[in-house]
Amino acid sequence: MDQFLINGGQRLRGSLTVNGSKNAALPIMAASILTEGETVLKGVPNLDDVQTLCHLLKQLGVNATRDAEGDLRLKVEDEMNCHAEYDLVRRMRASVCVMGPLLAKRRQARVALPGGCNIGDRPVNLHLQGLKALGADVELVSGDIHLKAKKLRGAEVFLGGPFGSTVLGTANVMMAATLAEGATVIEGAACEPEVIDLADYLNACGARIIGQGTTRIKIEGVSELHGSEHTVIPDRIEAGTLMIAVAITNGDAVISNCRVDHLLAVVDRLRAVGVIVEKKADGTQVSSSRRLEPITVTTQPYPGFPTDLQAQIMALLCLADGNSIITEKIFPDRFVHVAELNRMGAKLRKEGPVVLVEGVKRLVGAPVMASDLRASAALVLAALIAKGQTRISRVYHIDRGYESIEKRLNAVGADIKRVQE
């Protein structure tokens, strides 16, 4: 098992490039199950989660290969298997996004209850509620969700939940509805850019979807979909992580392939802290003042501050000159990184879904353990500025969402070594 050894205190300077979005690519890859012919996806990052879904798609009869240019080519060759087995699904929660396409195209789906990061309860009841509204019969069989439908029919579906809408649930219902008979209206739909990207891909394949990016999406069912070529949007979570990496080291870097319009809430909070974010001809320039202001941060569904950047901004606020408050409204238990940051000298106190951050003068290197994808990123950020050396174990978590993060940060001045435990 790999570890990171990080010697802190190096300022990041130079140029960084944001990769394609993992969270956009995975549902689009699953949507290829719906299509006849070949799909070519450009900009898909080379991540463990992408490889896991490729393996799952191959089990489901989809040929998934990368060509010489790095593009991902997907083509359905066998429609017999409809079972997404536990051995693969347990590794990644996003595997559940094959449920809607399998049901719509093959009239049944058997999908193991999903795994993924340890960030709190994330039930799939809204997914099932939406698919049942389209005509699916649902039962639990030996730990698998088994769905069947002789025919899917359009319906009005509400996907609002206690912590906002569901991104993957919106994706599953939208994908299933593309081949349903008649019109489907999704109320309380997720508005994230990743949902828009999926809808754009499906429309390029012949679907009839309008309203993506709003809380009301309408889908007119069609009889079939064809393959298409599509470029995945840049990863807004990676972009935000790189911005915070530059800021926490008091660095100065230009970040290219960065969609600032997908990060307005993040940029607002960073500027409130004292981070300078400016659009340039060659990208987005990020730098920061030596004094960081304390702020309040509340995670919300898009376009609010994303839960996937909560841990990273917490690392930054550990060094603010005063007390900050972070409230988690999407996954109230998503605070496993708090104890590890405290091991590095932070002063964090958790009170329910709120963390009180008392700024400190410095962080210190320590052995810490990554517990989930975004917590791993937060520990890397903290280690970049900590005095001395930090050893981060279980970095396979970070490999799920950040491609060669140590090489890319080292190229702009970091000191990170990947070693065997």
Q: At what angle do helices 22-31 and 193-204 cross, to 10 degrees?
A: 30
Distance CA 23, CA 97 (A): 11
Q: Which of 54, 82, 117, 205 is catalytic?
A: 117
Question: For 128, phi and psi rounded to 5 degrees?
Answer: -70, -35
Dihedral angle, C-alpha 78, 81, 82, 88, nearest 10 °: -110
Q: Which two tokens stand for residue 397?
A: 């978590």
Torsion sign across C-alpha atoms 149, 151, 156, 160: positive
Q: At what angle do helices 264-273 and 310-317 cross, to 10 degrees?
A: 10
Give residues with Cβ within 8 angstroms of 208, minimum separation 6.
178, 219, 220, 221, 222
Distance CA 215, CA 191 (A): 6
> Quick check: is 191 catalytic?
no
Q: What is the DSSP string of 375-420?
A: HHHHHHHHHHHSBSEEEEE-THHHHTTSTTHHHHHHTTT--EEEEE
Q: Are 307 and 298 in contact (CB under 8 A)?
A: no
- By annotation, the residues acting in catalysis are 117
